[in-house]
Structure 1
Amino acid sequence: MLLVKVASLILTIICSQSLCCLMIYLLYSIFCSKKIIFKPSLSIFYCRFFIDVFLTLSVSINKTYFLLISISNEYAVKNLAFILIYPFLVFDTMRYTLGFLITFDRFIAIYFPVFYQINRRKLSIHSIVLILLLSAAFNQYVLFGYCANSIDVPLNCDVFKCTVNSCYYNYYLTQEQIVHFSIGTMTICFCTRLLIRFLTAKSEVSKFLSQATRVALLDSLTVLVFFLAPSFAYAHLPATDFEIFGPLLALCKRVGSLIEAVLICRLFLRDKNIAPNIISPMS
């Protein structure tokens, strides 16, 4: 069991570092080298790339610590587990919120195109950042206010579950499941609508879907396959040891995110010379 846990942690660290490098390369190509054309319609995705950089860094750091104390308790430091995982909680909350906003944005664009064209420009990037900050602030209120979590982590704690109290842990899981279920439901809805439009339009998929819609679909499918499905499996396997399943679940999420990042990089590099599609969800 220890071997499985250690292997999962090592692979999670490798995937997180690889994902971080890909996101940095993507942002550098967009904002510095200009190898990829900046598109205002994709601003919400650029925010996601920035958050992913800090999220993957925090994952790498706390998983490295968990790896060290899994090997030997000599490396354990009182409450260090919480200190290292705290940035992850902040950025992970922002990432969930942003994932929901991205899917909701595509859902409105597909089902209410006139309303979307009239009102989408009113939602500036500053408004999106404000929403993310408010979501993170509310998460902190739940952690330290409603749940009254005290920073008193067991010295041998090497999984997320023991770094916070049961109140916040249950809230975190419930929040994650609700957001993922909402993303999954909206994805199924707008995929159905896209399929109908695709069949009636009789055009190639690459010409039919905008870049924003394709990235949103990739993000939603990653959530469904690598986030929601493993969490659902764990929820229906209560006898499963979280000390083993937890690292495996984290690895599954990072693998899914890495695969998504590779596909997004290929998509952006392939479409770098295509003119931007600012409003419509269809090309």
Structure 2
Amino acid sequence: MPIRIPEQLPAQDVLLGENIFTMDSNRAATQDIRPMEMGILNLMPNKIETEVQLLRLLSNTPLQVNVDLIRIDKLAPKHTPQSHMDAFYHDFSSVAEKKYDGLIITGAPLGHIDYEDVKYWDTMTTILEWAQRHVNSTMYLCWAAHAAMYHFYGVQRHLREQKISGVFEHKVLDPHNEILRGFDPQFYAPHSRFGHINSAVYNQVSGLQVVAESEQAGAYVVVSDDKRMVFITGHPEYDAETLNEEYHRDLEAGVEPAIPVNYYPDNNPNEAPLVRWRSHGNLLFNNWLNYYVYQTTPYDLSLLAEKAQPKR
């Protein structure tokens, strides 16, 4: 079954151009099934690019998925037209009474800002707590993963002097965990962050387990025993050029970034990037939707139980 996205959303044309089947609300209404309800809290400045990346991964499943794009505040983002936000995004207050099978909270370019100094931190914590009551399984990406660890468990990230940037080899630590079903023992995934939490710190938290990690980039996939929290410290959704664009953006800003690891052939930024994470990125999202969302969510979402509060 396809993903249902709002009519005229720019991502629709991109996905159709990639031969990815989407449908609008009118066609979805003719199908006599209970679709999965998915929310995306998009914290990235380039909303449209992130929408395409995430919707592409969510579409790779036989399940029908309804998507609500959610904004955290009304401030106009730097790289997205206000008209786009007004047309396609829901204010959190308008969906606060709704329950979701799944929620994705994206990363954000806030690597050097203390959590309490983030302008929307109060709203962020409200949404984190709300998800415990209204969402069956939440996936936290990159900055959001560290922010959730801090809020729920009091775990503070360590800020590295050199940004972790590149495509790193990872190993599967728990091949029997369903979120890694079908994974090769070693696989690649992109990272782009300053924040870091050691795998041992995650594993010391009751109810959490690191199931995939990299020797260079550290913990990558961390899951809760009840499947209702998934922390992804990298960016499986990234397009081929995303790290390249970030690298040249930092160059132009005079940051003098390191060349992303294992990304350009022969480490030469003049060469086209080597893409080798797409299959496992798709598999990760497909496994999450199937085993952590679809197989565990109640048919009647009103019966969704509140998650037990994490213990610090």
- The question of a shared fold, defined as TM-score above 0.5 by the shorter chain, is answered with no
Bigger relative contact order, structure 1 or 2, given CA contacts below 8 A and separation 6+? 1
When normalised by structure 1's length, the TM-score is: 0.34
User: Which structure shows the higher helix fraction?
Assistant: 1
Larger radius of gyration: 1
